[in-house]
């Protein structure tokens, strides 16, 4: 083990866990690399590690441990406190602190906190808090990283733990390393590995509880469940705990059952042998209560003049509303809450627009809002409805982990709300949305229950309809829509019927090919052909059922990039680990980022990769992306939110549309071939669809209508609360009659 002390002269690469830099010692400048958190140019550090030869970058010093030497003299303390590392402290304040606290200033600040700075001129409460937080985090996080690196944990993990547990981090983690699973930092198996290294007993209650909790959440989020049956949970947890364990260390079913009852007080809810993570139970319960409250109310104020309004609207628009659409408009004015469902070509767009226009005609002063679960869906809704729309997240002011701006206490100013693509809304988002609404808000839920359900737990739209909430289903496909092979074949697939393709028409193609690699090549060739015909990258959606395999999104993205956006000297690139981003690449946002205005599923194009000078007068790497006219800037640490978007999964395509859709249909995707998946993919196309694969794969998908049942009690809960509410209104509750 070698040790070097020096100043960082250049930072070559940095992300939240890793640093490559030049270190200037008394003798030489060397390249160092490792998990060195928060070190900047000009800082002095002591590093320990081993030399290694990198095949591309040559001789490097791999850092195994490091530390900032703690300032000892008054001059060093002033320089440290006045540096950019310490927030809220300038040179003047640094001098006053050193004068009052002496050479133990940093230790005193760490131990005594804000009170150690009381009475020092120019340092108020806010500034004192910033100084204390900076000093503590700089040295405490450094110690935590040093302790946890031994177990393979990263700098960003240490920071997350420090934010949660502060100075108690090391003690808490060493007592119970399974705390890492509670914060979703690692999975149970990795926590188990760390625990073994620490000597934690396999029969530890911490281990058993963590496994039960982890298996419960994993089952819910992987399958879209809100709960898991108790017997199933016990069996899965028992397999996870006793895998590769000697008999003496095996966990019994009795111990597992005891764990479930321990957790019931804090993290889980058990109801009729259904085991919920507590937060999912709360979301489901809150949605049910609010919906049952709104269900019992009828509006009906505009009914006397409604027929006249419909006639007036039809005359103005030059249209005649069919029977079902007229019923939907009537029900909207009668009900406080209405669900509108229907497949492609059934007139949902026409009905939504009629509802909005007539509502504004009757109530010109009332506040109308439109929302959808994704950015793509909200933009589409805005176009078809003729009114401004936003994401549900933006509507209620929600960012992950925070309380929304509009919630159960602070209500959203809104008289009439339209929510489109409701099939994509999970139970958490539904709960947050319903919490934000006033009891009197009129709400229209719009969706297609035959499309894929939400990615996260819950099956909200389907459950609301099962519970008997006011619903109008549009089933008639209008003549103009019937002429589209895209719409007619989507309905055929949904009905379990084979495709019917008229080769004299130019909107539906099936290219037969059974080899997955050749399917991928044909997808690339088809994309190039459409570009030759004048279609842009944003006009073409390439949708695959799976990520893996020759015709999966991962392989397709690499092939499509090389064909559509090959490297050349005029295009800048970022290499980040094994990932490459190139100017001109099509990318997809995979996480909601409200501060940037982009959301999960938004697709854009990289327009620029360059260096810019930031506010600290430092040169930083910047990447700009265009998302349908919105320019968004990323630094390298932000790119974990992006993936290549030339090809995306059908799940990711929900809520979006494009003129051209290309889909592989191969038996190599057997596990994902299902009717609702293919139906969802096909209904994304506006002008043309190209299926490339085998008839057999299509037949498998069309015949597979075994929808994976999602464990949810939302429908039952709505019905129960509604019945109770009705009994209460009738006076039977508590009257001795019920």
DSSP code string of 635-698: -GGGGGGEEE-SEEETGGGTT--EEEEEEEE-GGGGGG--HHHHHHHHTTEEEEEEEEE-HHHH
Bridge partner residues of 473 (DSSP): 341
Give the bridge partners for 3, in sequence order: 48
Closest CA to 537 of 623, 634, 654, 645: 645
On the CB side of 270, how many CA atoms lie within 13 Å of its CA? Answer: 15
Decide if 709 contacts 485 (C-beta within 8 A).
no
Residues pairing with 661 in the sheet: 541, 689
Q: HSE on the CB side for 258, CA within 13 Å?
A: 11
Owner of token pair 């015949």 = 703
Q: What whole-number distance in Å separates Cα of residue 467 and Cα of residue 458?
A: 14
Other C-beta atoms closer than 10 Å to the C-beta of 418 total: 24
Residues in CB range of 115: below 8 A, 6 or more apart: none
- Judge whether 656 and 380 are in contact, CB under 8 Å: yes
Cβ atoms of 97 and 89 closer than 8 Å: yes
- Shortest CA distance to 142 belongs to which of 124, 127, 122, 162? 162
Residue entry with tokens 């809810």? 269
Q: Is 347 annotated as a binding residue?
A: yes
Q: Residue 472 in contact with residue 328, Cβ under 8 Å? A: yes
The neighbouring-strand residues paired with 10 are 22
DSSP state of 518: H
Nearest residue to 618 (alpha-carbon basis) of 7, 68, 6, 10: 10
Burial class (CB in 10 A: 0-12, 13-18, 19+), 496: exposed
**Cα angle at 405 between 459 and 283, to 5 degrees?**
25
- The CA distance from 12 to 7, in Å, is 14
Within 245-367, strands assigned E span 268-271, 274-277, 337-342
| Residue 652 is labelled as binding a ligand | no
Distance CA 488, CA 207 (A): 54
Dihedral class, residue 69 (left if φ above 0, else alpha if ψ from -120 to 50, else beta): beta
Closest by CA to 562, choosing from 584, 530, 541, is 584
Rg (CA), the chain: 30
Q: How far apart are the first and last CA of the chain?
A: 79
| DSSP per position, 177-224 | TTHHHHTTSS-HHHHHHHHHHHT--TT-HHHHHHHHHHHHHHHHHHHT
Closest CA to 122 of 134, 131, 113: 131
Is 645 marked as binding a ligand?
no
Q: Say if CB 675 and CB 699 are below 8 A apart.
A: no
Query: 738 a known binding residue?
Result: no
HEC sequence for 345-408: CCCHHHHHHHHHHHHHHHCCCCCEEEEECCHHHHHHHHHHHCCCEEEHHHHHCCCCCCCCCCCC
Is 350 annotated in a binding site? The answer is no
Annotated binding site for ATP: 345-349
Annotated binding site: 345-349
């Amino acid at each position: 083990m070698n040790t070097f002390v020096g100043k960082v002269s250049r930072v070559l690469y940095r992300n939240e866990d890793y640093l490559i830099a030049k270190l200037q010692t008394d003798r030489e400048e060397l390249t160092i690399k490792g998990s060195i958190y928060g070190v900047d140019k000009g800082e002095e550090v002591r590093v320990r590690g081993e030399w290694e030869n990198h095949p591309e970058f040559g001789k490097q010093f791999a850092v195994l441990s490091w530390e900032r030497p703690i300032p000892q003299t008054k001059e060093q303390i002033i320089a440290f406190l006045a540096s950019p590392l310490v927030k809220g402290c300038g040179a003047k304040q640094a001098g006053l602190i050193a004068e009052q606290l002496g050479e133990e200033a940093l230790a005193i600040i760490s131990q005594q906190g804000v009170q150690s700075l009381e009475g020092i001129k120019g340092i108020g409460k806010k500034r004192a808090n910033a100084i204390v937080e900076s000093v503590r985090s700089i040295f405490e996080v450094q110690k935590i990283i040093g302790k946890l690196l031994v177990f393979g944990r990263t700098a960003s993990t240490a920071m997350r733990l420090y934010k949660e547990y502060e100075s108690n981090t090391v003690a808490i983690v060493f007592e119970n390393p399974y705390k890492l699973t509670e914060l979703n930092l690692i999975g149970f198996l990795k926590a188990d590995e760390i625990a073994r290294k620490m000597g934690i007993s396999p029969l530890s209650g911490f281990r058993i509880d963590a496994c039960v909790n982890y298996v419960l959440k994993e089952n819910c989020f992987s399958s879209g469940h809100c709960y898991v049956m108790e017997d199933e949970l016990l069996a899965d947890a028992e397999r996870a705990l006793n895998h590769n364990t000697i008999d003496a260390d095996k966990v019994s079913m009795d111990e597992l059952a005891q764990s479930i009852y321990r957790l019931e007080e804090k993290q889980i809810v058990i109801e009729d042998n259904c085991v919920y993570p507590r937060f999912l139970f709360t979301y489901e319960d809150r949605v049910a209560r609010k919906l049952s409250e709104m269900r019992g109310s009828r509006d009906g104020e505009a009914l006397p003049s409604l027929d006249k309004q419909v006639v007036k609207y039809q005359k103005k628009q030059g249209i005649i509303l069919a029977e079902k659409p007229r019923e939907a408009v009537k029900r909207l004015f009668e009900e406080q809450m209405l669900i509108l469902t229907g497949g492609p070509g059934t007139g949902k767009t026409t009905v939504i627009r009629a509802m909005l226009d007539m509502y504004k005609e009757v109530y010109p002063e009332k506040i109308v809002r439109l929302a959808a679960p994704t950015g793509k869906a909200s933009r589409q809704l805005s176009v078809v409805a003729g009114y401004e729309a936003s994401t549900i997240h933006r509507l209620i002011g929600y960012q992950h982990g925070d309380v929304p701006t509009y919630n159960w206490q602070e209500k959203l100013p809104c008289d009439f709300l339209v929510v489109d693509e409701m099939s994509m809304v999970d139970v958490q988002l539904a709960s947050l949305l319903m919490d934000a609404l006033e009891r009197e808000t009129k709400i229209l839920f719009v969706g297609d229950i035959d499309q894929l359900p939400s990615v996260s737990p819950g099956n909200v739209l389907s459950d609301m309809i099962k519970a008997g909430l006011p619903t109008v289903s549009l089933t008639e496909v209008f003549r103009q829509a019937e002429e589209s092979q895209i719409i007619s074949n989507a309905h055929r697939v949904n009905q379990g019927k084979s495709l019917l393709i008229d080769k004299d028409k130019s909107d539906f193609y099936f290219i037969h090919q059974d080899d997955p690699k050749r399917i991928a090549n044909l997808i690339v060739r088809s994309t190039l052909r459409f570009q030759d015909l004048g279609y842009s990258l944003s006009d073409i959606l390439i949708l695959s059922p799976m990520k893996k395999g020759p015709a999966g999104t991962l392989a397709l993205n690499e092939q499509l990039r090389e064909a559509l956006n090959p490297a050349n000297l005029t295009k800048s690139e970022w290499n980040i680990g094994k990932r490459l981003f190139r100017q001109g690449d099509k990318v997809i946002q995979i996480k909601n980022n409200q501060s940037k205005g982009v959301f999960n599923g938004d697709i854009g194009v990289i327009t620029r990769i360059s260096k810019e000078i930031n506010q600290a007068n430092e040169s930083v790497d910047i990447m700009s992306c265009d998302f349908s006219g919105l320019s968004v800037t990323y630094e390298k640490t932000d790119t974990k939110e992006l993936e290549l978007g030339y090809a995306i999964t059908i799940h990711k395509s929900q809520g979006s549309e494009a003129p051209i859709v290309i889909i592989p249909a191969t038996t190599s995707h057997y596990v994902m071939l299902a009717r609702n998946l293919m139906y969802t993919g096909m209904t994304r196309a506006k002008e043309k669809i190209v299926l490339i694969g085998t008839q057999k794969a299509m037949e498998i998908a069309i015949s597979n209508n075994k929808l994976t049942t999602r464990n949810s009690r939302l429908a039952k809960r709505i019905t129960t609360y509604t019945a109770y509410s009705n009994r209460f209104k009738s006076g039977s509750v508590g009257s001795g009659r019920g």
